[in-house]
């Protein structure tokens, strides 16, 4: 056991040293300055009381972020002090996604995002994402591109495989409306042109007693004040999703939905997420249920030490 722990520690230290060598001291100072600027702009995105001010800060934030990411090997810099901005790495460290929400007023907000891909020479490859959800009547029935993205603020990415192809499942939060929130589960792949592709016929309900059509992405909508769990459980090897009911017995009004103590799930089989109607066959008591992490909690990839 001690040898195993020592081996893991040695690997971690070695990886940290390798990562530290990727960013030069001068570039590290530059990135630190950019991070300080981004931190202030990200705060103003939230606290500025005027819509025009939030939009202006968003514009400055995007420009400052791009300039920072243009620094060589910026992929390895975590930007972990920039609060309110999600920055999640893929498990295989091939890319990371920045995402955040821009609120115009209490009734309308849009998601902002960009994917930074790791490159062999440390140069920047950045793919901006355009939130197209307001122009979509049914977001669960179509494949999407970077220009027709169903926006979300991502809090976790997991990687699965099928037939030697990688599938990245994204878990995201959507500040949907003044009365309800949404959480999204989205499968992303990389096509032959090395571009991200969002969605596909990945969510099946073939084992359910009540059949449902295959969905290209999955979401839940629930009461604004409710807390819900939608995440991957490493021990169970399942996606767990809170089962929701209307607290006012109005199933046609998602803004009344709250968790009832049961869990649905999805299991990865044959290149698809197969729905499980009821994961646990008895309701979990307090303390037994999975506890969601804060939406923007991050685990950066081998963060670079700051000067």
pLDDT tens sequence for the chain (307 residues): 444 444 444 344 334 434 444 999 999 999 999 999 999 999 999 888 898 999 999 999 999 999 999 999 999 999 999 999 999 999 999 999 999 999 988 778 899 999 999 999 999 999 999 999 989 889 999 999 999 999 999 999 999 999 999 999 999 999 999 999 999 999 999 999 999 999 999 999 999 988 899 999 999 999 999 999 999 999 999 999 999 999 999 999 999 999 999 999 999 999 999 999 999 875 555 555 565 555 544 433 443 444 4
pLDDT, one tens digit per residue, over 252-297 is 999 999 999 999 999 999 999 999 999 987 555 555 556 555 554 4
Work out the end-to-end distance of the chain between its first and last CA atoms, rounded to an integer number of angstroms. Answer: 35
Question: Is 232 in contact with 238 (CB distance < 8 Å)?
Answer: yes
Enumerate the H helices of 23-99 as residue ranges: 25-47, 51-69
**How high is the pLDDT of residue 108?**
82
**How high is the pLDDT of residue 7?**
44
- In sequence order, the 6+-apart residues with CB closer than 8 A to the CB of 300 are 78, 79, 80, 87, 89
Q: Give 183-222 as a 3 state SS string.
A: EEEEEEEECCCCCEEECCCCEECCCCCCCCCCECCEEEEE
**How high is the pLDDT of residue 106?**
73
Spatial distance between the Cα atoms of 107 and 116, rounded to a whole number of angstroms: 30
Spatial distance between the Cα atoms of 101 and 86, rounded to a whole number of angstroms: 10
The model's pTM is 0.86
Q: For residue 106, what is the DSSP state?
A: S
Q: For residue 20, what is the DSSP state?
A: H
Domain ranges across the chain: 1-81
Identify the burial level of 202 via C-beta atoms within 10 angstroms of its C-beta, where 0-12 means exposed, 13-18 middle and 19 or more buried.
Answer: buried
**How high is the pLDDT of residue 290?**
61
């Amino acid at each position: 056991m001690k040898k195993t722990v020592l081996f893991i520690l040695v690997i971690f230290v070695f990886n940290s040293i390798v990562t530290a060598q990727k960013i030069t001291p001068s570039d590290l100072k530059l990135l630190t300055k950019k991070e300080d600027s981004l931190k202030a702009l990200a705060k103003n995105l939230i606290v500025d009381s005027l819509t025009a001010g939030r939009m202006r800060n968003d514009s400055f934030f995007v420009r400052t972020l791009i300039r920072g990411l243009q620094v060589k090997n910026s992929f390895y810099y975590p930007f972990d002090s920039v609060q309110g901005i999600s920055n999640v790495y893929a498990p295989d460290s091939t890319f990371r996604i920045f995402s955040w929400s821009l609120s115009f007023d209490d009734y309308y907000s849009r998601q902002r995002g960009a994917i930074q891909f790791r490159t062999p020479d440390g140069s920047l490859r950045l793919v901006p994402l355009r939130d197209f959800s307001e122009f979509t009547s049914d977001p669960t029935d179509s494949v999407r591109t970077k220009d027709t993205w169903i926006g979300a603020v991502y809090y976790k990415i997991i990687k699965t495989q099928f037939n030697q192809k990688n599938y990245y499942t994204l878990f995201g939060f959507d500040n949907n409306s003044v009365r309800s929130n949404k959480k999204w589960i989205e499968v992303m792949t990389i096509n032959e042109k090395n571009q991200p592709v969002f969605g596909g016929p990945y969510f099946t309900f073939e084992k359910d007693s009540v059949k449902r059509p295959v969905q290209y992405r999955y979401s839940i909508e629930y009461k604004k004040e409710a807390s819900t769990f939608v995440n991957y459980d490493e021990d169970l090897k399942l996606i767990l999703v809170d089962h929701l009911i209307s607290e006012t017995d109005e199933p046609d009004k998602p803004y009344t939905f709250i968790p009832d103590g049961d869990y649905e799930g999805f299991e990865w089989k044959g290149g698809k997420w197969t729905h499980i109607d009821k994961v646990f066959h008895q309701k979990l008591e307090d303390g037994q249920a999975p506890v969601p992490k804060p939406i923007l909690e991050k685990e950066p990839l081998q963060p670079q030490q700051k000067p």
